[in-house]
Amino acid sequence: MNSVFSKHARMNAVVVAAVILLTACGGGSGQLAGISGTGITSSGTVTGFGSVVVNGVEFDTGGAKIIVDGERATQAALRVGQIVTVTGVLETETSSVAETVVFNRLLDGPIAAKDSGNRLVTALGQSVLIDDATRFDGVRFVDLAEQNLILVSGFTDENGNIVATYIRRGAVVFDFNTRIDVEDALSNLNMLAQTFDVGLLPVNYAGADVDETAGALREGATVEIFGMLSAQTGIFTADTVTVIDPILAAPGGRVELEGIIANFAGRGDFTIGGQPIDASAAVQEVDTGLSLGVGVTLDVEGEIADDGVLVAESVAIRPSSDIRIEAAVDAGTSAQRELKVFGLRFGITPASRFHDQRATASGARGQGLQSLRFSDYVAIDAYRDARGDLVAGAITRAEFETGALVRGPASAAGCDPATNTVTVAGVPVRFETAALTAAGGEHLRIAAFCSLVKAGGFLEARGAENGNELIAEIISLIK
């Protein structure tokens, strides 16, 4: 039985052919991105539609070849949160005409374990990390359970974990006769026994069709494998093994890349998703107070050298967002520069991402930050920059909700049981009638709760907006 998410071999040839075509049509000239006619390969998260928005560029897909998990598809098969590779020709800094759009999931397999406290699931030997940026398609994290079949798209971090940007659930109870797949770097290759591991998953490829077109099957190579999982032994028996080339474009091709830094030996020598990068001469956009290093999420723009290294001209660090606000937009917002919620000002940078998940936005063009209006309901993932100013890392416009949420650090003033107030991420929160819980879920009285609230300690409050404050229904301490 084929998986509901089954696909054929990876479409590397499609991407390579498109890059060669684009280079011949004007790419690889050393022009800066944004000059009309420049060929571009862009790999990153889909953040919006109309056409397809990736890395801040809207790609017109009217004439594009769209490949989803190895099959020809239409744009309707793509979703916000999926990691795609787009080839096209830039018209302006923010618009492009796409030639190809390719989406390949990282994982399609059953959940073996779920850790709700740390927000992760394990499937096919991979640890899948969930955060506020993860987009769930028709399911919530709380609904996921062991033996659910899940499709996952995301980035691989420095520890080999998948940081999920998109999750969809298939069968609620996995059928071990289902053909499934996973993509990862292999280890413990034994060519005599014809076995290797991907993550913690043991793989036998003795009867598999091995495609080494993009490179040799060797220790550390990234492979995509299809096959069956044994319910008795936990061994994955592969029927196809495809070696993946991590180099995104031909020499001279311009590339925009989003991902997590791994194998960091300095600004001039690191990788993202296996792509070697030299950012020694790159301009770093926006002062976030952070430096390049292992585990940092980065946007990179540059050109592929003859040796396959992406020579970066500009980089933009996207700090981890430790503040979450869900509420209506205040009056006076000018979303191209800043966003106001709960009276707080959230700066907008070139690395800020915007998602529009409203049902009414699915077919609309141009639903960018500039379309935000007073009273639109948004979820903001934010951080404080080197100056202490709030910066929006990601903004999601959602269907309107009557409730609001604030998650982040408590102020230095801590919790005041006399006034029943605490300031969380800069938002005054009143808790006269709120349920108060410890990190483990135990219910607390006000005095005990306030004794546990420390300056900088993290809290989550849900309730109703009241001007610039939140009237909490529940406040929880966070680990």
The string of pLDDT tens digits covering residues 197-245 is 999 999 999 999 999 999 999 999 999 999 999 999 999 999 999 999 9
Can you give the pLDDT at residue 107?
Answer: 96
- Select from 457, 367, 355, 441 the least CA-distant residue to 396: 355
List pLDDT tens digits, range 86-96: 999 988 777 88
Given this model, what pLDDT does residue 11 score? Answer: 37
The pLDDT assigned to 333 comes to 62
Q: 3-class DSSP state for residue 249?
A: coil
Which range has highest mean pLDDT (174-188, 308-322, 335-349)? 174-188
Give φ, ψ of 22 to 5 degrees: -65, -35
How far is the C-alpha of 406 from the C-alpha of 191, rounded, in Å? 53
pLDDT score for 5: 35
Q: What is the pLDDT of residues 20-73, one digit of tens each?
A: 333 333 333 333 444 567 899 999 998 877 788 888 888 999 999 999 998 999
List of domains in the chain: 12-103 (2.40.50), 107-243 (no CATH), 254-318 (2.40.50.140), 323-397 (2.40.50), 404-477 (2.40.50)
Q: End-to-end distance of the chain based on CA atoms, in angstroms? A: 43
Q: Which of 468, 479, 462 is nearest to 406 (CA)?
A: 462
Distance between CA 446 and CA 369 in Å, rounded?
40
461: Cβ contacts below 8 Å, ≥ 6 apart: 405, 406, 407, 424, 429, 431, 434, 470, 472, 474, 475, 476
Band (311; pLDDT cuts 50, 70, 90): very high
Amino acid in the structure at residue 280? S
pLDDT band at 361 (very low <50, low <70, confident <90, very high): low
Mean pLDDT of 377-395: 88
pTM: 0.79
- CA dihedral 327→332→338→344, nearest 10 degrees, is -50
